[in-house]
Amino acid sequence: MSAQERTRIDRYEPATIEPRWQRRWAELGLYDTNLADDSKPKYYLLTMYDYPSGNLHIGHWYVKTPTDALGRFHRMNGKNVFQPIGFDAFGLPAENAAIKNKIHPHAWTLKNIDNMRRQLRSMGAGWDWNSEVVTCEPEYYRWNQWIFLRFLEAGLAYRAGSPVDWCPNDGTLAREQVEGTDRHCWRCGARVEKRDLDQWYLRTTKYADELLDFTGLEWPEPIRIMQTNWIGRSEGAEVAFTTAPDDSQPGGDGLRVFTTRPDTLYGATFMVLAPEHALVPKLTHADRAAEVNAYITAAGRETEIERLSTERPKTGVFTGSYAINPVNGERIPIWIADYVLAGYGTGAIMAVPAHDERDFEFARKFGLPIRRVIAGPEVTDAEVAAPMETAFVSHGTEERMVNSGPHTGLPAKQGFASIVAMLEKQGRGKASVNYRLRDWLISRQRYWGTPIPVVYCDTDGIVPVPDDQLPVRLPETVDYAGRGDNPLKSDASFANTTCPKCGGPARRETDTMDTFIDSSWYWFRYLSPQNEGAPVERSIEARWCPVDQYTGGAEHAVMHLLYARFFTKAMADLGMVHEREPFKRLFNQGQILGADGERMSKSRGNVQDPDELVSHYGADTVRLFLMFMGPWDQGGPWSPTGIGGISRFLNRVWHAALDPHGIEPGDAESGVLPAGQDKAAADRALRTAAHRTLRVVSEEYAELRFNTMVAHLMELSNLLQRYRGTEAAGSAAWNEAVGLLLLMLAPAAPHIAEELWSRLAEARGEEWASIHAQPWPSVDEAAAAENEREVPVQVNGKLRDRVMVPVGIGEAELERLVLARPKVVAALEGRAPTKVIHAGGKLVNIVVR
RNA sequence: GCCGACGUGGCGGAACUGGCAUACGCGCUCGACUCAAAAUCGAGUGGCCGUGAGGUCAUGCGGGUUCAACUCCCGCCGUCGGCACCA
């Protein structure tokens, strides 16, 4: 920069300085991380990568700029910081655009990525672009395929036919991708149906127990709870019932059920199977067939029917068959009902209406017997025999067993164990654990995803594509015959192939993978995006994983974050990586809303365009304002007026740094030190404030409390403002305070800090060195220490006075001082203090009477 | 219904393990500069009573513990997020 240019820029003009520094940093490679450098401790800072929708909105800024501030803070603190960036580039919008605009999904996606790269650069963030990953490129998705094949070999991937959740727009969905009571698609909102299909699954349930263990992870409690609930571990027993012989069948078929209440086994008065249960056709009597089949058909359609209430009355039909209760040999009727889910446990239950609300309601409705087998401590024998009005579900330590054969009289807790023991001895049951978590259905009927690398051969069945034939590439020409169609299916050149085993004709799998596969290991790939020998370079992974800090939205609590943990564990077991947990520390930032408090959307017209804000205020102001709005995990509505305050703040910093003496017009009031303060006192006040600010701001960066961090910088700036134009301005203490302010501001507002830093260096005749390469300053404890302190004085808990006292003052002396204060004397009204509380010198409270 | 988070000025919010409630900012009012406006700078700003010093009431509501409660305990009310018959 020429001297001439500099003198011209006397006002703060972000539009001039920001792009210039962005270029400079990129030229210098300031943020290109040397992953091999182990001279400094590593810090892997990751933000959830984005879908390249084409345009950055303010939400992206809200997610990314505080993270960047954190990265810059750690870099100044001597860490080797790795801050990668990439794009989650597969997914449906590209296909929709393709159908609508006749543009290839790949071209559309890359165009969007180009635009977003440009927009992202305007944030002035310290990303290492060399490590960029774009998941729709074969260089990336070939490793999805490679990992899938390893999972297949290890039995972690399997193909199965079962009723799956089906969205008319998006095809099959994982269980996590179905939301709400009305079971709609998480993406498009369409109502989800059930379909019987052969699909690919990943065995997430194998890791259910390990996924419940969050030891060593600093994750927000609500996320851990959500995952724990989603996995839904329940302990109980599996009990083998058998069907009873009758006129139409010989009986003896095993009917296993899962129950969490084996202690209520004597109260099982009927059984209920899910309509889809495999034994239903066999157990249905000829004279019941019409009714049963009608019910099954209705149940299959049911998800399509509008359900207004969750409290739907129970429905079901009797099959005509009976089962034998293994503990008492009792014949109990077998019903089918849709309140029993095919996918949980064994798809069949023993119904104990006395002690389960659902079974109770069902029994009431269909006139089935209700037998009490558990009673609370106050229940008399007469009451045990009386009919029940509601189910008794309490299961504490006080309850005892009744009507339960040899177990009668036992506490229910013991009954649980003793019945399980009895069943195990007789070979009719065993203790068992069930999970709500299902295996992950990964097949998708779409073009724009990773092809599942298997072929189907009439002779050899399912044949994996050999590694040396990877990647199985998506065909470059796409023909969308119609909306929602997977063009791969009708693409003969893709679908028709030869069997890798026998060489005969074979058909490729045309389903592609759920795009959550891509995001389940992408942070590993960032570490060696060009590696052609393996998905992850283990030596680098060993040094850099787990991710030290991950940030992103809470909406991925049970999807991305659970899949990523599953992948990490599975990959570790297969020797691909060392770590079993991907993200050591997780932070969920909130969501930024429109000024009207609603979700930002084009149709509402409440969208804030970051490009516009940047051109008006500059990136630093936008960054700082987003951090200042409130706690980062809280999000909140955009304030159109609030941003002006940040703009003013940065302007004041600018002038404090470049024009300490306030030659500016309008500084009428400045020029005078506060009453009773000389220059030495002013210098001391400046140093104290600067170093105290440094102490608290350092902590706030580390704890991601950006809103108060900014507030504290403002306070320091306000103090400088107060002294601007006085004899303290421009002193050594002043310059120190300004220097500290800039260093503290650097992570959050990198451009202005850099600009002022360089101007001050030049003014001192020093050579330029980036502020972002400076070490984080350390607190001068002597300067930060106070020698006087203001102590609030209360009488009976009410504030009456404040006294300035020297810091080391003793309690006795302080008390004497305080009791002599006129205001205190007045408040005491002649009464003698009963007690004086000192609260460690923070406050004095005088208690009377 | 179950699980979780949260209720503080006109607004966004601050107050760390109980210790000065309302930091910081927005907005608003007044003043300086200006022909005027904007920008900037300065002063003020929780409610009520009072000319004033000051008093008094206030952290969703009702109780409690404590010298002292936004903070802890009990019971409600409200808002937001998650789950959806999981045996």
Q: Which pLDDT tens digit goes with each residue over A678-701?
A: 889 999 999 999 999 999 999 999
**Residue A794, domain member (yes or no):** yes
CB A281, CB A293: distance < 8 Å: no
Quick: pLDDT tens for A548-605.
999 999 889 899 999 999 999 999 999 999 999 999 999 999 999 888 888 888 777 8
Please give the nucleotide, over all strands, whose C1' is closest to the CA of residue A839: B19
- Calpha distance A318→A336 (Å, rounded): 6
CB A805, CB A814: distance < 8 Å: yes
Quick: pLDDT tens for A2-27.
333 334 337 899 999 999 999 999 99
- DSSP H or E segment with residue A565: helix A560-573
**Residue A459, domain member (yes or no):** no
- The full DSSP string for A32-75 is ---TT--SS-EEEEEE--B---S---HHHHHHHHHHHHHHHHHH
Q: Tell me what pLDDT residue A8 has.
A: 37
pLDDT score of A779 more than 80: yes
Between A58-76 and A610-617, two packed helices, what is the crossing angle to 10 degrees? 60
Quick: pLDDT tens for A657-683.
998 887 654 444 456 777 778 889 999
Classify residue A249 by burial, with Cβ atoms within 10 Å: 0-12, 13-18, 19+: middle
Among the ranges given (A258-262, A282-286, A300-304, A744-748), the one the predictor scored with the smallest mean pLDDT? A300-304
> Distance (Å) from CA A813 to C1' B14?
33
- DSSP H or E segment with residue A16: helix A14-28
Residues 6+ apart with CB under 8 A from A744: A693, A694, A697, A713, A716, A777
Q: Mean pLDDT, chain A, as a whole number?
A: 90
- Calpha distance A594→A532 (Å, rounded): 45
Same-domain pairing of A772 and A674: yes
> Distance (Å) from CA A234 to C1' B2?
16
**Residue A364, domain member (yes or no):** yes
- Calpha distance A581→A524 (Å, rounded): 12
Determine the 3-state secondary structure of A271 from DSSP.
strand
Same-domain pairing of A805 and A839: yes
Among the ranges given (A126-130, A482-486, A491-495, A736-740), the one the predictor scored with the smallest mean pLDDT? A482-486
Residue with CA nearest to B69's C1' atom: A797
Task: Write the ipTM.
Answer: 0.95
**Residue A464, domain member (yes or no):** no
- Calpha distance A14→A753 (Å, rounded): 11
Share of chain A above pLDDT 70, in %: 96
- DSSP H or E segment with residue A651: helix A643-658
Same-domain pairing of A271 and A410: yes
**Residue A288, domain member (yes or no):** yes
Residues 6+ apart with CB under 8 A from A488: A447, A451, A474, A475, A494, A495, A508, A510, A512
Q: Tell me what pLDDT residue A309 has.
A: 45
Which of A376, A407, A435 corresponds to the end of one domain?
A: A435
Same-domain pairing of A136 and A105: yes
Helix intervals (H) in A703-779: 706-723, 732-745, 750-763
Q: Tell me what pLDDT residue A93 has.
A: 86
CATH number at residue A98: 3.40.50.620
pLDDT score of A720 more than 80: yes
- Calpha distance A204→A186 (Å, rounded): 20
Q: How many CB atoms lie within 10 A of CB A21?
A: 21
**Residue A664, domain member (yes or no):** yes
Q: Tell me what pLDDT residue A302 has.
A: 63
> Distance (Å) from CA A714 to C1' B7?
28
Please give the nucleotide, over all strands, whose C1' is closest to the CA of residue A557: B82
Which of A365, A400, A435 corresponds to the end of one domain?
A: A435
Residues 6+ apart with CB under 8 A from A469: A500
- DSSP H or E segment with residue A848: strand A844-848
**Residue A452, domain member (yes or no):** no
Same-domain pairing of A10 and A78: yes
Strand order in the sheet with A157-167: A171-173, A157-167, A193-202, A440-441
Same-domain pairing of A311 and A275: yes
Same-domain pairing of A359 and A248: yes
Q: Is the dihedral of CA A738, A741, A747, A751 positive or negative?
A: negative
pLDDT score of A414 more than 60: yes
Residue with CA nearest to B85's C1' atom: A339
- Kindly state the DSSP code that residue A177 receives in the 8-state scheme: G
Between A610-617 and A14-28, two packed helices, what is the crossing angle to 10 degrees? 110
CATH number at residue A821: 3.10.20.590
pLDDT score of A313 more than 50: yes
CATH number at residue A426: 3.90.740.10
Please give the nucleotide, over all strands, whose C1' is closest to the CA of residue A591: B81
Task: Compute the average pLDDT of residues A165-170.
Answer: 81
Q: Tell me what pLDDT residue A574 has.
A: 97
Same-domain pairing of A737 and A830: no
Same-domain pairing of A772 and A793: no
Residue with CA nearest to B53's C1' atom: A823
Confidence of residue A438 (pLDDT cuts 50, 70, 90): very high
Same-domain pairing of A424 and A291: yes
Q: How many domains does chain A have?
A: 4
Confidence of residue A257 (pLDDT cuts 50, 70, 90): very high
Share of chain A above pLDDT 90, in %: 66
Q: Tell me what pLDDT residue A100 has.
A: 83
Please give the nucleotide, over all strands, whose C1' is closest to the CA of residue A337: B85
Nucleic acid strand B: bases within 7 A of protein CB:
3-5, 11-16, 19-21, 23-27, 32-33, 39-43, 55-56, 67-69, 81-87
Same-domain pairing of A279 and A345: yes
Taking CA atoms, A89 is separated from A23, A52, A92, A108, A136, in Å, by 27, 6, 10, 10, 5
In terms of pLDDT, which residue wins out, A844 or A141?
A141
- Calpha distance A642→A343 (Å, rounded): 52
Which of A558, A593, A628 corresponds to the end of one domain?
A: A593
> Distance (Å) from CA A483 to C1' B80?
36
Same-domain pairing of A566 and A663: no
CATH number at residue A698: 1.10.730.10
pLDDT score of A829 more than 50: yes
Quick: pLDDT tens for A629-650.
999 999 888 888 899 999 999 9
Highest mean pLDDT among A477-491, A730-744, A794-808: A730-744
Please give the nucleotide, over all strands, whose C1' is closest to the CA of residue A835: B67
**Residue A731, domain member (yes or no):** yes
Quick: pLDDT tens for A25-59.
999 999 999 999 999 999 999 999 999 998 899 99
In terms of pLDDT, which residue wins out, A607 or A662?
A607
Look at the block and give the residue holding tokens 């960036």: A85
pLDDT score of A457 more than 90: yes
Range of the domain at A291: 233-435
